[in-house]
Chain A
Amino acid sequence: MSTNQFNSTPITPELVKEHGLNEEEYKLVLEIMGREPNINELGIFSVMWSEHCSYKSSKKWLKTLPTKADWVIQGPGENAGVIDIGDGQAAIFKMESHNHPSFIEPYQGAATGVGGIMRDVFTMGARPIANLNALRFGAPEHPKTRHLLSGVVEGIGGYGNCMGVPTIGGETNFHASYNGNILVNAMTVGLADTDNIFYSAAAGIGNPVVYVGSKTGRDGIHGATMASAEFDDDSDEKRPTVQVGDPFTEKLLLEACLELMATDMIVAIQDMGAAGLTSSSFEMASKGGVGVELWLDKVPMREEGMTPYELMLSESQERMLMVLKPGCEEAAKAIFDKWELDFAVIGTLTDTKRMVLKWHGELAGDLPIDPLAEASPEYDRPWEETPKQDRIDPASLSGKVDHIDALKTLIASPDLASRRWIWEQYDHLVMGNTIVRPGGDAGVVRVSGTNKGIAATTDCTPRYVMADPVEGGKQAVAEAYRNLIATGAKPLAITDNMNFGNPERPRIMGQFVGACKGIADACITLEFPVVSGNVSLYNETNGEGIMPTPAIGGVGVISDLAHHATIGLKAGEGALVMIGAATGELGQSLYLKTIEGREEGAPPPVDLNAEKRAGTLVRELIELGAVKTCHDIADGGLLVTVAEMCMAGKIGADVSLPEQGSEAAWLFGEDQGRYVIATSDPDKVLNAAASANVAAVIVGQIGGDAISIEGDAKVSVSDLRDLNEGWMPSFMADAT
């Protein structure tokens, strides 16, 4: 070996520990290398085997998720998932977390999260056409919450708005369990032609390895390792590991890549995300079964005096690695010159199946590719099942709050208050194809030049997952399904973003295992496979973990936008019909929490077969043009759902009470698998439901300018709207 120059740094046990490798793992490093690694090689093992890059705690369980359907073109394992949406077109999408960096530096953390997920999508040849996000913050009263919320929202807007991709949906929760670990999950949906999708497997010995985009700086070094550890009180010191985003450069990179992709010059392409050049080069080589020689001194550098170690580990943004067909270098470079982006040939493919790093002609590292990329550790971590909780008996309610007062309180609570303050900071209209804007069940964008729509949503109810990971996992998938159905879309596939605490604790690992089981069950019954995803573990601070949050991003297709539904009531629609059965499940409901002050009980169970029948019925009614107004029943239950439909349509409604049983459980229970639709022909809906073996009942009548319960106890729609719209602006204005 002639790696002497880089052997000057002694590899001490402390240094190994600083690189996040435990003793067992380092033993494996020595075995694979057959010698002591140098510092560059140690750094590479460190990031490649970080939880973030290797999925070492989670992959045993991720493998159990269903990933196949006739319309799935590419499941998990590539930069993003790909589904066929007909007419020779594909939707390419994924959701990814940027939790740790966003807590440390909210603007840049969130911005680069958005930038990273868009790169994952356009790397595959798709133009991004919609962004969404799933955000979790600490309790509203926590001193950091406003600062983090404001920074994250500005960061998401700052990046997405500049890129010219509409942000059409998302969700935001507040809970004390996120006080020390916020969650920022960003999702992008792109559109490509099915015959022009790009993959990452390198091929062609001797083909040039090309670097394009921004120059490499010292930002984000060890970001992946940072994202694989718990926080403590000194986490602010990790600020330098957060990357800095440049959306303008990414916009140029997007246009340049799509221009190059319209030619026939690319063999393989991969974005440089977590673990930068290391991860992208190893993944491309490993998938293609080839070796790579990299000339690190040729990498475009932002700063002087950068070392091979820094170049391999930097997470500078807005960069791509490509393998080109031989002889295409000049023509490809001309495109990047036009967009004023760096373009450098930094290596070549070899037949050695090794990664050889050169620095001004000298050897700086030499590692086998497959053992690193594929033989990374896989743990079967011990796990404990979450103890089941009892169903809440409605008789245990204090019942001291009047129903309309409870509605007013709920609708203005942090859990249910309007998120308009957030989504009006996102350009949700650019591209001119936004058909259903944020604030409804799912966002819908038109496929340009057609009358087809793509619906997308993000969903999870962490308090259900906490109480029962299996039912909660099912519910997250079912709610995404329901939100797509409610717009009239056929749900096609999901991306999952698994946010959990420290998997080394059996209780947390049990949450992960349970959620995977629930997700898998729901995906199978609903024919709604997982095509991409991301895992974020170690969301803990000083030993306190977050609520388990497997965020689900769902995508569906509306075949004819002339027939789609929105949540706002429309004049002339007489009756409100509830689709789906209710037994009054109050466990973990917002009513129980907000009105009764109890966070407990079994969450509402999900009957997947009933879910499928109800969903199919509702979608068919919308497709037939029989229903224009539909809203799924979720947080807050029936009365909150009707109130949201009234507020969106600025029309009142009268809601009926059940003949028997608890009124509160009927009005505020969160039973799953339900929708409210408004119709001028309720008999038609009830008959269709009866023949589809779906429960359906008239629950109210539309009209007037107030919401009432059996003619009594009114609140005007405009007063309710003021309450609903008022909370977040006044909360954010109180920032000190």
Chain B
Amino acid sequence: MKSAVILFPGINRENDAIAALKQATGTQPTLVWHGETELPNVDIIMVPGGFSYGDYLRCGAMAAKSPIMRAVADRASQGVTILGVCNGFQILTEAGLLPGALMRNASLKFICKNTHLKIENTTTRFTNQYGKGDVVDYPVAHHDGNYFADEDTLNRLEGEGRVVLRYCDANGAVDTETNLNGSQRNIAGIINEAGNVLGMMPHPENAIDPLHGGIDGRGLFKSMVEAVS
């Protein structure tokens, strides 16, 4: 099982991503520099979190134009499993691999805390280890996680089962109260039409060790491994 982590200037959770992938796959992921034009032959590609190019333009906008992103897009169309977390999610939307956009949090503040998430679809290659309606606990750490898409897109995402994760409370209640950052319909993670690309704001890679205070994130990485092996 081989995996790759893409490194853009300003990314800062690459080692967290590497730790989670290594734990799940048993092998050390390859770190790929943004200036490269080719990817190694891998089963899983992860675009990690951070502040690519300082988020000085729109979050992810600069990184989406990096040479390596053409190679990532090619792999996406070939059906390779691709996970974008936080800034990685923003980069994937800016690259057009996922619909919608991530706007500034409704509070206008950076938010770092644990949040409950409802697993809305357990048939994806990212969530097959969870049960339908499971509530998991991952941390978030972002300033721009407020998911937006137009009504037609949102309806289509819902209709096709592409809303994978929603912000909720410990009992799985999804409402305005439990909407962490103002996201449309409490959306925390979505997949593309083919189901091989997941973008999400929360950090499963920071919930993989009992010392983190919980290991709910392991299921997401294990799901990818199950799906591609």
B-contacting residues of A (Cβ < 8 Å)? 154, 157-158, 161-164, 246-249, 251-252, 339-340, 423-432, 434-435, 437, 446, 448, 561
Q: Convert B190-229 into 0s and 1s, putting 1 for each residue whose CB lies closer than 8 angstroms to a CB of A.
A: 0000000000000101101101110000000000000000
CB distance from A425 to the nearest CB of B (A): 5
- B84 interfacial by beta-carbon distance below 8 Å: no
A248–B53 CB distance below 8 A: yes
Which chain B residues border A429 with CB–CB below 8 Å? Answer: 112, 139, 141, 203, 206, 212
Tell me if B141 and A430 are in contact (CB < 8 A).
yes
| B54–A247 CB distance below 8 A | yes
A542 CA to B111 CA in the complex, in Å?
Answer: 38
Is B65 engaged at the interface, CB distance under 8 Å to the other chain? Answer: no
A-B pairs with beta carbons under 8 Å apart, 9 shown:
A247-B51, A248-B51, A249-B54, A252-B9, A427-B141, A430-B16, A432-B16, A437-B213, A561-B211
Q: Which of B15, B51, B205 contacts A161 (CB 8 A)?
A: B51
Tell me whether A164 and B112 are in contact (CB under 8 A).
no
A425 neighbours in B (Cβ, 8 Å): 109-112
What is the CB-to-nearest-CB distance from B201 to chain A, in angstroms, rounded to a whole number?
13
Return chain A residues, CB-CB under 8 Å to B113. Answer: 424
- Given A248-B51, A424-B112, verify A435-B211 contact (CB < 8 Å): yes
Interface of chain B residues 146 through 205 with chain A (CB within 8 A): 203, 205
Interchain CA distance A429-B140 in the complex, whole Å: 9
The 8 Å CB contact of A164, one of B13, B111, B143, B209, is B13
Any chain A CB within 8 A of the CB of B50? yes
Q: Which of A248, A249, A340, A427 lies in contact with B110, CB distance below 8 A?
A: A427
For B113, the closest partner residue in chain A by CB is A424
Total contacts A-B at CB 8 Å:
82
- Inter-chain contacts of B141 with A (CB < 8 A): 161, 427, 429-430
Interface secondary structure of B, over-half rule = mixed
Among the interface residues A251, A426, A430, A446, which one has the most CB atoms of the partner chain B within 10 A? A430
Check B19 for interface membership: any CB of A closer than 8 A.
Answer: yes
Cα distance A200–B141 when bound, in Å?
36
Residues A432 and B19 in contact, CB atoms below 8 Å apart = yes
Q: Find the A residue at minimum CB distance from B18.
A: A432
Nearest-Cβ distance from residue A231 to partner chain B, whole angstroms: 29
Cβ-defined contact, B206 with A428, below 8 A? no
Partner of B9, one of A154, A157, A340, A424: A340
Given contacts A425-B110, A428-B112, A430-B13, contact A251 B51 (CB under 8 A): yes
Chain A residue with the shortest CB-CB distance to B19: A432
Cβ-defined contact, A163 with B12, below 8 A: yes
Partner of A426, one of B10, B12, B112: B112
Encode contact with A along B96-115: 1 for CB under 8 Å, 0 otherwise.
00000000000001111100
Count of residues in B whose CB is under 8 Å from the partner chain: 30
Contact A424 B212 (CB under 8 A): no
Given A430-B206, A432-B208, 4 more contacts at CB 8 Å? A424-B111, A432-B19, A434-B212, A446-B211
Q: How far is the CB of A251 from chain B (nearest CB, A)?
A: 6
> Hey, which chain A residues are within 8 Å of B56, CB to CB?
248
- Is there contact, CB below 8 Å, between A162 and B54? yes
Q: Are B15 and A431 in contact (CB under 8 A)?
A: yes
Are A432 and B212 in touch, CB under 8 angstroms? yes
* B residues in contact with A435, CB < 8 Å: 211-212
Which residue of chain A has its CB nearest to the CB of B139?
A: A429
| Closest 6 A/B residue pairs (Cβ) | A164-B12, A248-B54, A432-B16, A162-B51, A427-B141, A425-B110
In the assembled complex, the Cα of A428 lies from the Cα of B111 at a distance in Å of 10
Residues of A within 8 A of B211 (CB): 435, 446, 561
Q: Which B residues are CB-close (under 8 A) to A158?
A: 110
Chain A residues with CB under 8 Å of B12's CB are: 162-164, 251, 430
Q: A432 and B15: CB pair below 8 A?
A: yes
Q: Which A residues are CB-close (under 8 A) to B111?
A: 424-425
User: Beta-carbon contacts of B49-75 to A below 8 Å, as 1s and 0s?
Assistant: 111011110000000000000000000
Neighbouring A residues of B208 by C-beta, 8 Å: 432
Q: How far is the CB of B153 from chain A (nearest CB, A)?
A: 30
Residue of B nearest to A161 (CB): B110
**C-alpha spacing A434/B205, complex, angstroms:** 13
Nearest CB on A from B62, distance (A):
10
Q: Chain A residues with Cβ under 8 A from B205's Cβ? A: 432
Compute how far the CA of A339 lies from the CA of B9 in the bound complex, rounded to whole angstroms: 8
CB distance from B78 to the nearest CB of A (A): 29
Q: Shortest distance in angstroms between A256's beta carbon and chain B's nearest beta carbon?
A: 10
* Nearest chain B residue, comparing its CB with the CB of A157: B110
A249 nearest CB neighbor, chain B only: B54
In whole angstroms, what is the CA distance A164 to B56 when docked?
Answer: 16
Question: In the complex, which residues of chain A have a beta carbon less than 8 angstroms from the beta carbon of B51?
Answer: 161-162, 164, 247-248, 251
In the complex the two chains form, is A427's CB within 8 Å of B112's CB? Answer: yes
The residue on A at minimum CB distance from B52 is A248
Q: Which residue of chain B has its CB nearest to the CB of A163?
A: B12
Q: Which residues of A contact B49 (CB under 8 A)?
A: 430
CA distance A561 to B15 in the complex (A): 20
Chain B residues within an 8 Å CB radius of A561:
211
Q: Chain A residue with minimal CB distance to B20?
A: A432
A725 to chain B, nearest CB (A): 12
Whether B16 contacts A431 by the Cβ 8 Å rule is yes
Residue numbers in B under 8 Å from A430 (CB-CB): 12-13, 16, 49, 141, 206
Question: Contacts of B55 on A, CB cut-off 8 Å?
Answer: 162
Are the CB atoms of B54 and A246 closer together than 8 Å? yes
B15 neighbours in A (Cβ, 8 Å): 431-432, 448
Q: Residues of A contacting B209 with CB < 8 Å?
A: 432
Determine how close the nearest CB of chain A comes to the CB of B132; give it in whole angstroms: 28
Give the shortest distance, in Å, between A622 (CB) and chain B (any CB).
Answer: 15
In angstroms, Cα B9 to Cα A164, docked, is 12
For residue B49, which residue of chain A has the nearest CB?
A430
- Identify which of residues 112-143 in chain B touch chain A, using a CB-to-CB cut-off of 8 Å: 112-113, 139, 141, 143
Would you give the shortest CB distance from B67 to chain A, in whole angstroms? 14
| A162 vs B56: C-alpha distance when bound (angstroms) | 11
Chain A: CB-nearest residue to B50: A164
Residues of A within 8 Å of B203, CB to CB, are 429
Give the docked Cα–Cα distance between A348 and B29 (Å).
43
Q: Are B212 and A248 in contact (CB under 8 A)?
A: no
Find chain B residues with CB under 8 A from A247 CB.
51, 54
Task: Give chain B residues whose Cβ lies under 8 Å from the Cβ of A448.
Answer: 15
Which residues from chain B contact A426 at a C-beta distance below 8 Å? 110, 112
| Chain A residues whose C-beta falls within 8 Å of the C-beta of B16 in the assembled complex | 430-432
- Taken together as a complex, chains A and B put the C-alpha atoms of A389 and B99 apart, in Å, by 68
Give complex CA distance A448, B16 in Å. 10
Minimum distance in angstroms from B29 CB to a CB of chain A: 14
B141's nearest neighbour on chain A, judged by CB, is A427
Cα–Cα, bound, A434→B112 (Å): 13
Q: Which residue of B lies closest to A444 (CB)?
A: B211
Query: How far, in Å, is B28 (CB) from chain A's closest CB?
Result: 13
CB distance from B228 to the nearest CB of A (A): 23
